[in-house]
Structure formats: C-alpha cells, structure tokens
Amino acid sequence: MALPRTSPPRRNALTPGGAVPIDLDEDAAIQRVTEQLKTSYSDRRTLDEIQAAVAEARASFNTLPIRTHVPVLVERKARRIVSEHTG
C-alpha cells in the first residue's frame, strides 16, 4: 500500500496548531522587519539608519545554527537600537 503524497511546505504556512505563521524565507522576513521599522520610525529616523540597525542586529545572530527565530530576535534588537538613538 502506497503512502499518501504530502504537499511540500508552503511559504508562510501555519504550524500544525494553525495559529503561528512560519516564514520559511529569512531574507523576506528581515525585509518585512525593515518595512515595519520604517513605518514605526519614519518620522524620527532615516531609512539608512533603520537599515543599519537591522543589519547590526542581524549580524549579531550570524553564528546561531538554528535560524527559526532570528527575524523576531532581529526585530527586537533593531527596535532597541533605533529607540536608543531617538531618545
């Protein structure tokens, strides 16, 4: 008896519980982080400053072997960096 074929994971698929979106493309997730920060801080920070904060935050996680939560960690750290410089 053959096993049923399963579909490959989709981008932005939901977890088995159906609640938490999973982004399978770290670069796309980091781009969304940049866009979110740009929206939040556009009145106080330049795009270059926001991109630099995201790059600095992402670089600090380069050695992590498991990348699943890197975009969330990058967003949190980049927000701290941008907030510290806005006063």
Q: Which amino acid is at 74?
A: V
At residue 21, φ and ψ (nearest 5 deg) are: -70, 140
pLDDT tens-place string over residues 40-83: 999 999 999 999 999 999 999 999 888 889 999 999 999 999 99
* Domain annotation covers residue 6: no
The whole domain housing 62 covers 26-86
Q: Is residue 74 in some structural domain?
A: yes
Which CATH number characterizes residue 71's domain? 1.10.8
Any domain includes 71: yes
51 assigned to some structural domain: yes
Cβ-defined contacts of 6-15 (< 8 Å, 24+): none
Please tell me what DSSP assigns to residue 7: P
In a domain, 5, yes or no: no
**Backbone dihedral angles phi then psi of residue 51, each to the nearest 5 degrees:** -65, -40
Question: For the chain, what is the domain count?
Answer: 1
Q: What is the pTM of this model?
A: 0.70
Write the pLDDT tens digit of every residue in 18-42. 444 445 689 999 999 999 999 999 9
The CB density around residue 28, as the number of other CB atoms within 10 Å, is 13
